[in-house]
Amino acid sequence: SASPTQNQVIAGWKMYPQIPQYLVSRSEMHQFIERCMKAVGVKNSHAMALADVLVEGDYRGHYSHGLNRLDIYLKDMKSGICAKDGEPVIEKSTVATALVNGNNLMGPVVGNFCMDLAIQKAKEVGIGWVSAYGSNHYGIAGFYSMQALKCGFIGMSCTNTSPLVVATRAKECTLGTNPISVAAPALDGDSFVLDMATSAVALGKIEVQQRRNEEVPEGWGCDSNGKATTNPTQILTGGGQLPLGGSEATSGYKGYGLSMLVEVFCGMLSGSHYSNNIRRWKETDKVANLGQCFFAINPGCFAPNFEKRMSDLLNIHRTLEPSDPSLPVLIPGDPEALHIAECDHHGAIPYHVNVVDHMNSVAKELGVDLLPTNRTIDP
């Protein structure tokens, strides 16, 4: 089997088919993020860690968690609510497990430390499970699960987040979008990479519809009375997002259950804040104290030929006859692979012009060099 090719991308898969885009290389974006973070007092290694995960998010097509989120990290640093100095600390450890105090550092700093630790334990005893508290927003969950692939291991990561989601039958937001990512290696560099929120949709998609003054599909959110609505303003002001599956009638209780599962792994195991104890989204009135979980498993401890069976599983599904001939069946990780192929075709990442223009205005205030805007893709 083979992962999606560049030809499939050039044949028509585009991120913003009707919107002009700036092209910014990965190195240009990486350096820009580093400059911005250093301007607010973040040390070099931590700035690099943040740049790594944000650029990877954009490169994989998760624009909601790339450059678009730089504002949040800058705000946390400017307000002093997130620590600029220090390193995570192991508070408890066994041969296979660890509890880490993130010391209120940026999420990517904590995440890299914990995933490295989980992988090291998996190398030694076959499995590593690390829970962390005292962390902050860490970007795309897949950035951490995929680190295990380099060793031929299965990786997993999840995090709790600010309460934005309403539990099935409730009115109040008490759960986060609580993403889960699992990555598993197949042959020849191919892989399964699941990276998903446990809410029906990302918050950013609802915000976009509100700016466009357009309704959202039913099942994305509810109003202040807990009733499903297609009005994005009602969702964002007093209402909330619905769990994966939407309403109870369409099995939203399953997404609700998955979100609670993330809290068990993240908040309950680590002793971090959880549920509606976590600060509200985009507020910096108190320390976030997010809980996060990371594990690595060496499949060699189980039945032989794991990667061969994984490749067969992926091939079974990629070769299924599609219900729509123009839309081939994909497996988790393929949409990201398609976006990566498009970026490689251009030699840069396509960005919505408004996102780059906004971040350049922020950069001017910080007194750092701006992102280049001399390369564009017209619709």
274 and 210 in a common domain: no
Nearest to 67 by CA among 47, 53, 49, 84: 53
CATH code of the domain covering residue 361: 1.10.1530.10
Total count of domains within the chain:
3
Q: Phi-psi bin for 311: left (phi > 0), alpha (psi -120 to 50), beta?
A: alpha
Q: Is the pLDDT of residue 2 over 70?
A: no
**Domain boundary residue among 217, 241, 265?**
241
Any residues with CB less than 8 A from the CB of 151 and at least 6 apart, and which? 119, 122, 123, 296, 298
269 and 224 in a common domain: no
Domain assignment of residue 62, yes or no: yes
pTM passes above 0.75: yes
The tokens describing 121, both together, are: 């334990």
Sequence-ordered alpha helix ranges (H) in the chain: 6-10, 26-39, 44-59, 70-79, 107-125, 142-145, 203-211, 232-236, 252-263, 269-270, 306-318, 334-346, 353-366
Domain assignment of residue 371, yes or no: yes
Instruction: Convert 307-350 into a string of H (helix), E (strand) and C (coil).
Output: HHHHHHHHHHHHCCCCCCCCCCCCCCCHHHHHHHHHHHHHCCEE
**Interior CA angle at 341 toward 1 and 32, to 5°?**
140
What local confidence, expressed as pLDDT, does residue 159 receive? 98
Query: Residue 18 — pLDDT band, cuts 50, 70, 90?
Result: low
Residue 200 · residue 246 · CB < 8 Å: yes
120 and 223 in a common domain: no
- Helix (H) / strand (E) element for 89: namely strand 89-93
**Domain boundary residue among 186, 216, 241?**
241
Note the pLDDT tens digit of each residue in 131-150: 999 999 999 999 999 999 99
Q: Is the pLDDT of residue 64 over 60?
A: yes
106 and 74 in a common domain: no
Q: Is the pLDDT of residue 287 over 60?
A: yes
Residue 141 · residue 131 · CB < 8 Å: no
Domain assignment of residue 299, yes or no: yes
Percent of the chain with pLDDT over 90: 88
Domain assignment of residue 6, yes or no: no
Check residues 141 and 378 and name the one with the higher pLDDT.
141
103 and 70 in a common domain: no
305 and 235 in a common domain: no
Note the pLDDT tens digit of each residue in 304-346: 999 999 999 999 999 999 999 999 999 999 999 999 999 999 9
Q: Counting every residue, how long is the chain?
A: 379
Q: Write out the residue range of the structural domain in which residue 227 sits.
A: 201-241
d(CA 106, CA 311): 36
Q: Is the pLDDT of residue 10 over 70?
A: no
Q: Is the pLDDT of residue 175 over 70?
A: yes
What local confidence, expressed as pLDDT, does residue 124 receive? 98
What local confidence, expressed as pLDDT, does residue 379 receive? 64
Average pLDDT over residues 345-370: 95
Of 1-10, 159-168, 252-261, 285-294, the least confident: 1-10
CATH code of the domain covering residue 153: 3.30.1370.60
Domain assignment of residue 246, yes or no: no
Average pLDDT over residues 272-276: 98
120 and 140 in a common domain: yes
Q: Three-class SS of residue 269?
A: helix
194 and 263 in a common domain: yes
Domain assignment of residue 269, yes or no: yes
Domain assignment of residue 5, yes or no: no
Query: Residue 104 — pLDDT band, cuts 50, 70, 90?
Result: very high
What local confidence, expressed as pLDDT, does residue 319 receive? 97
Q: Chain-centre distance of CA 296, in angstroms?
A: 18
What local confidence, expressed as pLDDT, does residue 3 receive? 45
323 and 192 in a common domain: yes
Q: How many CB atoms are closer than 10 A to CB 45? A: 10
d(CA 99, CA 269): 8
What is the residue-wise DSSP string for 118-178? HHHHHHHHSEEEEEEEEE---S-THHHHGGGGGGT-EEEEEE--SS-EEPTT-SSEEE---
Q: Is the pLDDT of residue 110 over 70?
A: yes
Q: Is the pLDDT of residue 277 over 80?
A: yes
337 and 265 in a common domain: yes
37 and 181 in a common domain: no
What local confidence, expressed as pLDDT, does residue 6 receive? 38
CATH code of the domain covering residue 225: 3.30.60.50
